[in-house]
Amino acid sequence: MDRISGGTTGCRVVAMPYPARGHINPMMNVCKLLVSKLMDIINITFIVTEEWLGFIESEPRPPQIQLRSIPNVIPSELVRGSDRPAFVEAIFTKMEGPIEQILEQMQESSLMPVVTAIIADTLLSWAVSIGNRRNIPVVSLWTMSPSVFSVFCHFDLVTQNGHSAVDTSSERGDELIDYIPGISPAIRLADMPRMLHKTRVQVSGRMSEAFAFVHKAQCLIFTSFHELEAQVTETLMAVLPFPVYSVGPSIPHSTTLAGDHEREQTTTITHNNNNMDYYFKWLDSQPKSSVLYVSFGSFYSVSREQMDEILAGLRESGVRYLLVSRGDHASGTVPPDDDDDEMLSSNLVVPWCDQLRVLCHSSVGGFWTHCGWNSTLEGVFAGVPMLTFPLGFDQITDRKLIVDDWKVGMKVMKEVGAERFVRKEEIGMIVKKFMDLDGDDEESKEMRRRAGELKESCRRALAKGGSSDTNLNAFIRDILKCHC
């Protein structure tokens, strides 16, 4: 990207991510975008807990981004899934004080420029209060889809229509939600975020609190690109009291997007796995578009029994696959010798991989995903069709976007939830259909064509003069007050 030259004073930004991988990564990527534009004048302080500092401090980042930590005042990342309400409650009640202490130290230091802005995850409602108390502009960063933002932004309508505490997997699941501005009228109750479930009222209450504060921010940033959900984004731009900037996809993409070999040349932010050369060597040996990449994200997990069925179904399908598994199934991942027969195997299981580079590899023809927003954006960027298997929260709505709105994916199962167990026979059939490149299925051909169109739309948005590039420049000019 072109750099923007500012004045003689520095631009100091404080970044406050929600403490979870799916929130930290996109915020870090937004910070890197700002550095690419304001390299000579910007300085960003990125605040995380001590635990998260240990997780991310070795990951590459420009020197303009410094990490600061607060004590571990919230439950560990390793156990937060066991009591999600307690984890959320700790975030809302325990983090504000320690982070404000860091801000106070920064503002008292004569060696540092005044803080220009705070970029805070939308879910951190107290960050808006900190900024308002200290007269620092607060930028709200939303790391999920604009559609999910609109659902919670109009939560009063959800409540008025009796949908705020309903079991979305019940017989009411087919009820149409046709009253949220900008949202497709074809969305059903079963497609809504799982936070609306009656058993999650405490957590959804905190979400409502966060959205009560978001209106006091100075602007909103989406980690998506405008064209992906143009209708809902433009509707929000018309009703919100501040500017909205779509600057994404906020994923670790390459900034050089020209040429016929993009899928081979894309680079990413982390290269921490010693087995990387091995699994890319394996991918290099596979036919074009023949591999199904399978990953279910970093937080929600699939039961051992369901994973056994998934592996059995994958084997029965006869499809080549690369599967990322963090559990007991992540075995046999030590790189073999060059002449080892396993290099000729039609499948590979690894505990970690460089996901965006894998998706952009020419041998990958499909992505079995949990539909997390960052993974969804990476699938769109790579132009690969998606086999959808949402596990919770916003992923259900993302599945609806992928399958019904964009028509670039298929469902593993009709409905969602831990109560639904998918057998290997069903998995085998859907995987085989999904990856059939030579068949006459018109749905499959259309799905791949549309995935290619979305990819091109994404690349245009990121290019110089595209919507994301233009929005980022406008944000820098209008909010950070740095001018060309």
Residues 233 and 296 in one domain: no
Q: Is 15 helix (H, G, I), strand (E, B) or coil?
A: strand
Q: Quick one: 379 and 450 in the same domain?
A: yes
What CATH number is given to the structural domain containing 313?
A: 3.40.50.2000
Q: What pLDDT sits at residue 462?
A: 96
Does 64 lie in the same domain as 200?
yes
Domain around 364:
277-334+341-459
For residue 206, the model assigns a pLDDT of 81
Is 262 domain-assigned?
Answer: no
Q: How far is CA 236 from the centre of its chain?
A: 20
Q: Are residues 475 and 438 in the same domain?
A: no
Domains in the chain, number: 2
Distance of CA 113 to the CA centre of its chain: 32
Secondary structure (3-state) at 476: helix
pLDDT of 67: 98
Per-residue pLDDT of the chain (484 residues; tens, 9 = 90+): 444 444 435 789 999 999 999 999 999 999 999 999 998 899 999 999 999 999 999 999 999 999 999 999 999 988 887 788 899 999 999 999 999 999 999 888 766 678 999 999 999 999 999 999 999 999 999 999 999 999 999 988 988 988 877 666 667 888 889 999 999 878 998 898 876 554 454 556 788 888 989 999 999 999 999 999 999 999 999 999 999 999 999 999 853 343 334 434 433 333 344 556 789 999 999 999 999 999 997 666 788 899 999 999 999 999 999 999 876 554 444 444 454 555 567 899 999 899 999 999 999 999 999 999 999 999 999 999 999 999 888 999 999 999 999 999 999 986 654 457 899 999 999 999 999 877 677 888 899 999 999 999 999 999 999 999 999 999 999 999 875 4
207 and 297 fall within a common domain: no
159, part of any domain: yes
Check residue 401 and report its DSSP letter.
Answer: I
User: What pLDDT does residue 402 have?
Assistant: 97
Token digits of residue 171: 């017989």
| pLDDT score, position 273 | 46
Whether cis (ω within 30° of 0) applies to the bond prior to 287 is no
Are 386 and 473 members of one domain?
no
For residue 65, being part of any structural domain is answered with yes
Q: Which residue has the tokens 């439950």?
A: 75
Asked whether residue 173 is domain-assigned, the answer is no
User: What single string gives the DSSP state of each residue in 168-189?
Assistant: TTSGGGG-B---STTS-TT-BG
Co-location of 424 and 468 in the same domain: no
